Amino acid sequence: MSDLRLRTTDIPGLLVLDLPLHGDSRGWFKENYQKAKMEALGLPAFTVVQNNFSYNEQRGVTRGLHAEPWEKFISVANGSVFGAWVDLRKGDSYGKTFSITITPDIAVFVPRGIANGYQTLEERVTYTYLVNDHWSPDAKYTFVNAFDPEVGIDWPIAKDQAITSEKDDNHPPLSQVESEF
């Protein structure tokens, strides 16, 4: 792909960006986040205050679904993940889902209140995200169980083969979620 492109989804405000990769025999280079260019295409004004990385050693690592009180700009430095989102904001789009495979040439902008999760599709994947507020132990989160049948996410790696945390496994089903958003 040669041009930066922004795509909308069925979840209001959840955006997908196609990022040009410039490569040669040494590898590739990309502008992962470029404020002026991306805002000109329709990305909301987004002031980055923190950059986080999540390194995942094994295929099948599944994290989420977490809705946080800040916006996120998600991408991968290498490898691929299956990204999944559930709108947990009160309103007409509550419960709506979206999923896409994220590779180095795909990024996703996630508004606050939309639960975010992912599953690694290969070994040694580095998932990265920019946020517009600092993490705080006092922040209000909303969670939903990633494998809740009511949510209906078609994860590529089944629950019995996924690598999850006990905390994420204990997130409530959608029918029991009390949204902060």
Residue 159 phi, psi (nearest 5): -55, -40
Hey, which CATH number is domain 5-176, 3.40.50.150, 3.40.50.1000, 2.60.120.10, 3.40.190.10? 2.60.120.10
Question: pLDDT tens, position by position, for the chain (181 residues)?
Answer: 469 999 999 999 999 999 999 999 998 899 999 999 999 999 999 999 999 999 999 999 999 999 999 999 999 999 999 999 999 999 999 999 999 999 999 999 999 999 999 999 999 999 999 999 998 888 988 999 999 999 999 999 999 999 999 999 999 999 999 988 9
Report in angstroms the alpha-carbon separations of 163 from 88, 100, 115, 118, 166: 24, 19, 19, 11, 10
Q: What does the alpha-carbon distance between residue 87 and residue 98 come to, in Å, rounded to a whole number?
A: 9
- What are the domain boundaries of the chain? 5-176
Distance CA 119, CA 35 (A): 27
Could you give the residue numbers annotated as active site?
66, 129
Residues 6+ apart with CB under 8 A from 109: 13, 14, 15, 16, 17, 43, 44, 46, 71, 72, 73, 74
What is the C-alpha to C-alpha distance for residues 26 and 48, in angstroms, rounded to an integer?
30
Q: What is the pLDDT of residue 136?
A: 87
Cis amide leading into 17 (omega within 30): no
In this predicted structure, what is the pLDDT of residue 180? 86
Predicted model pTM: 0.95
* Confidence at residue 54, expressed as pLDDT on a 0 to 100 scale: 96
Residue-level pLDDT at 2: 67
